[in-house]
Amino acid sequence: MSIRSLLFGEPYNKELLNLKSFSAEYKVEVKTEMLSVQDEDPSGYTMECRYLFDQSIKSDEIINTIELKDVLIKTANKSLENSVEDLTAIAKISPFYKVARRFNGELFDIRNKEVLLSDWEKAKTDLVPNLFITDSERIGFTVSYEKGLLNTHEALRNNWNYLLMLPEVYSFKHFADSGKGSQTSGHSCKSGLSSNVTIEYVMLGSAISRNKDVVNLKMNSRITNSSHLSTLSINGVKLNPQSYSFRIEASYEISVVNGKVLNAHVNILEKLDEISSCKTEVLLSLFDGVFEEAPKMKLSENKWNVFDK
């Protein structure tokens, strides 16, 4: 591998698409649902966000700016209403990011760290004291948030709300290979069933096709720390392949002309035996001018039969 590839990533596949500067306005809809055999009804929330997005192609990197303009979070679970209000406030602490990516699409740096730090210092004085009842909760959140500030680029590149806008697929193989054999760099996420468990994975290309000026791309996850996970337990249940599963399925529609994501969709499903499950579904689309007080999710209409084998 050349020094340039190490610094800037593999060159993007020009037979797959072109990378050019553009601006866009996106709507991102999120639905998260947690289900347990002990609970009569599932718990979770829906979220709708509107983002302004800009892409600029430089000689050795891609620069993107992402600005959160609106966010609405809803839940049907009464016990989660206060948490939803807190999540809405926290989401607005730092509404603007400027990031740098390699030409394969991988995010590697944050370019407005000073602004993010300033946003946090203001929130620490004006917002945080009103979010938490006890000093221990406030201190715990502060320590956690400041730790996250040190690794903001990792947080963004592991957050599917942003990954759908920032796909790491530009160097994927051409249509003759159907995308197979192509993969992203490593990602990680906290388990939705236990905050003490971290899943590490890569996304593998499973299908690529082209319809006029649009590339259709599908990917599936592959866990890379399964050996470590098998030594862990949640609620006394071992995280081995017989009792535990985690998978991500993602799809993109990307413009061949400039690399703009036109539509994207991801399903994240985690299941622990016949005991509990967590599913998150994220849908990205170009903003259509409609941002409703109660977001109408246009996600999968099928029932989530999460305990089906």
Asked whether residue 307 carries a pLDDT value surpassing 70, the answer given is no
> pLDDT class for 306, splitting at 50, 70, 90?
very low
Which of 172, 190, 152, 308 lies closest to 250 in space, CA to CA? 172
Q: Could you tell me if residue 309 is inside a domain?
A: no
Hunting for tokens 């006890």 — which residue is that? Answer: 134
d(C-alpha 171, C-alpha 269), whole Å: 27
Q: Could you tell me if residue 122 is inside a domain?
A: yes
Asked whether residue 299 carries a pLDDT value surpassing 70, the answer given is no
Mean per-residue pLDDT of the chain: 87
Asked whether residue 196 carries a pLDDT value surpassing 50, the answer given is yes
Whether 158 contacts 187, CB under 8 Å: yes
Q: Could you tell me if residue 88 is inside a domain?
A: yes
Asked whether residue 155 carries a pLDDT value surpassing 70, the answer given is yes
Q: Could you tell me if residue 302 is inside a domain?
A: no
Print the domain residue range for 48: 3-286
Quick one: pLDDT at residue 180?
64
Asked whether residue 153 carries a pLDDT value surpassing 80, the answer given is yes
Whether 159 contacts 284, CB under 8 Å: no
d(C-alpha 22, C-alpha 57), whole Å: 9
Q: Could you tell me if residue 307 is inside a domain?
A: no
DSSP string, 175-201: GGGTTTT-B---EEEE-SS-TT-EEEE
Quick one: pLDDT at residue 274?
82
| Tokens of residue 259, six digits | 């690399």
What is the total count of domains within the chain?
A: 1
Asked whether residue 300 carries a pLDDT value surpassing 70, the answer given is no
| Tokens of residue 194, six digits | 């236990």
Handedness of CA 63, 282, 153, 270 (dihedral sign): negative
252-253-257 Cα angle (round to 5): 130
Distances, alpha carbon 122 to alpha carbons 78, 127, 133, 292, in Å: 30, 8, 19, 29
Order the strands of the 276-286 sheet from edge to edge.
107-110, 96-101, 62-74, 43-57, 22-36, 276-286, 261-272, 244-255, 214-223, 198-211, 187-190
First to last CA, the chain: 42
